[in-house]
A and B are shown apart, each in its own frame.
Chain A
Amino acid sequence: MNHTFRLIQSYLIAGFLLFTGVNFVTAQDHDDHHEGNHHSEPDEGHGGEYDPANTAFHHISDQNVYSLGFADLPLPCFLYAKDGGWDVFMSSKFGIGHHGNGHYAYNRYVLVESIVRRITDESFPMGKVELSDHPYHHEMVMVDGKEKEQVTVNYDGNHYNLENKSTLDGGLMGGGLTSFYDFSLTKNVVSLLLIAIFLFIVFSAVAKRYKQDALRAPKGVQSFLEPIFLFIQDEVAKPFLGHKWQKYLPFLMCLFFLIFALNLFGQIPFLGNANVTGNLTFTMVLAVIAFFVVNFSGKKAYWEHVFWMPGVPVFVKPILTVVEVMGVFIKPLTLMLRLAANITAGHMIIVIFVSLIFIFNEAGQNMVGSVPGLALSVPLTMFMMAIELLVALVQAFVFTILTASYIGAAIEEHH
């Protein structure tokens, strides 16, 4: 019953994200209620109950370990605590174990589900400290009348509270400012860096060929990239930006190719399936940069349309001003949510479809159950991956074309 319920819940979350990209908090709160029955039970490891929702959350989250499935690659951690200053080390210091749970604490930092958390209690010893087996537990506690998840670590018979890293949602998404900040090169940062470098190498090689002789027929990677490049140039930049298309083309190309490459990279099995473009922080960065580009290039006509719409009766103007000013912020907001929601939902659905195998064979305890599990999981996963290939392209294209249209509206001289 338990896992079926969690599964249905995960489907609902994924479906919801697909269409709205919001409202995850309530779903997770619900999740926590359900989880409440199992307070403080010890970690049962692999033999225990299989939880697809937990697997999905684990896989799509940003982590301090780059997990390839068959190997866990440690990543550099740059941690800043208000009371402890900077700590720089590799996450291998934690002794990465099952589920990315660390065997050691280091300078009061621990690794839980591949993510760094901090022990708030100052009585906990500094330096490298070996922990017992399955030291991490979580329970629900009441904070200001709201039920909240509290993760603890067991050491020397005492439970020490763990704190999450600071997030900038102001408690809106269950996060908030805590005692430390994580500036580590996480899985997402590393993936982003790798893809950025990869794209730069590929494109500089292609650009070199163009520079050598612009009139030569394209060849190799150049022939693959040129139609895509021309498509964005001719179908996105030119129609929306008019004669100024050349000025904004690099920005649009960066958006398109970076998003597209990251979307695809996240789908390659056994390469970590980094969910960079599905991470709200990353899409927020893109959206905010797009917001600045749009509004810094806004011409007189654009601001006129925002603040005092011409061509409508005076009594309508203030109403439109409110709507338009909201629109200025809602546009990047939708960009941010659409991309993150679509990619995260895709990743979640694929993880859940793969999880069907483990649900049916009860996490390896009933191998006969693998048969219907496989029969369901394989076609569904293949179907979803095919859809996700399309989504990868469509979402990159949509983000680019909408940014182009916003810039186009801002630089229009008159209409």
Chain B
Amino acid sequence: MLVLAEFNVLRPDPGLLFWSVLIFLIFWFLMAKFAFKPITNALIKRENHIQDALNDARKAKEELRRIQTENEKLLDEARQERAQLLKDAKDQGSKIVEEAKSKAKEEAGKILTQAKEEIENQKKAALHDVKNQVTTLALNVAEQVVRKNLSDQEGQVQLVKGLVDDINLS
């Protein structure tokens, strides 16, 4: 029969105890100093860096959005201004045309009035002339009539008639 293997797992062994304590304490000290502390510090540093970067990115985004809205606003304003300007120009144009039209009309009116006046004047003058001529003619007629023999009634009437006809014909 085999010798029963020594089952020492559940028995606290001073040798293993000593080495375990020694190795664990040294391990703890070395790992803390050369591994875990530097790693933790680096991780904290990186975490902060990432957080900062994220914050910066958020800030930049907000800034960009702000600039965009501002641009939009400026563009809108410009657009409105342009529309206003166009409208103004149009208005101005039509006004000028209107003015020109009214001025032209006025001028035309004036010219017409002047023409009318001129015509009137000419007419008056003509009439006056006619009157004068008529008067002259009448006087001529009368003179001729007078100069002819007034005794001859028939002849006189004939004469006058001839004279009048002459006048009408002329």
Contact = CB atoms under 8 A, between A and B. Distances in A.
Interface string A331-355: 0000000001000100000000000
Contacts of B43: 210, 214, 226, 229-230, 233
B10 A280 contact: yes
A57 B6 contact: yes
A28 interface: yes
Contacts of B38: 207, 210-211
B36 A138 contact: no
A93 interface: no
Given A215-B46, A282-B20, A169 B15 contact: no
B14 A203 contact: no
B40 to A, nearest CB: 6
Given A250-B36, A254-B27, A167 B13 contact: yes
A173 interface: yes
Interface in B13-48: 13-21, 23-28, 30-32, 34-43, 45-46
Interface string B1-12: 111111111111
Contacts of A185: 19
Contact of A286 (B3, B13, B24, B35): B24
Contacts of A35: 1, 4
B16 A169 contact: no
Contacts of B12: 167-169, 280-281, 284
A54 interface: yes
Contacts of A65: none
Given A210-B42, A254-B24, A254-B32, A169 B11 contact: yes
Nearest to A43: B2
Contacts of B14: 166-168, 181-183
A305 interface: no
A182 B14 CA distance: 7
A299 interface: no
Interface string B42-58: 11011001000000000
B31 to A, nearest CB: 5
Nearest to B12: A168
A169 to B, nearest CB: 5
Interface string A71-83: 0000000100000
B42 A214 contact: yes
A250 B6 CA distance: 36
Contacts of A41: 1
A395 interface: no
Contacts of B35: 200, 203-204, 206-207
A199 B27 CA distance: 9
Contacts of B45: 214-215
Contacts of B13: 62, 165, 167-168, 182, 281
The 5 closest A-B CB pairs, nearest first, are: A250-B32, A210-B42, A203-B35, A58-B5, A214-B42
Interface of B: 1-21, 23-28, 30-32, 34-43, 45-46, 49
Interface of A: 24-25, 28, 31-32, 35, 38, 41-44, 48-49, 51, 54-55, 57-58, 60-62, 78, 99, 101, 112-113, 115, 117, 136-138, 149, 151, 164-169, 173-175, 181-186, 188-189, 192-193, 196, 199-200, 203-204, 206-207, 210-211, 214-215, 226, 229-230, 233, 246, 249-251, 253-254, 258, 275, 278-282, 284-286, 289, 340, 344
Given A24-B7, A254-B28, 16 more contacts: A25-B10, A49-B1, A57-B5, A57-B6, A99-B2, A113-B5, A115-B6, A115-B8, A193-B19, A204-B34, A207-B38, A215-B45, A215-B49, A233-B43, A250-B31, A280-B11
13 contacts: A51-B2, A137-B3, A167-B8, A167-B11, A189-B16, A199-B27, A200-B35, A207-B35, A207-B39, A207-B42, A250-B36, A289-B21, A289-B25
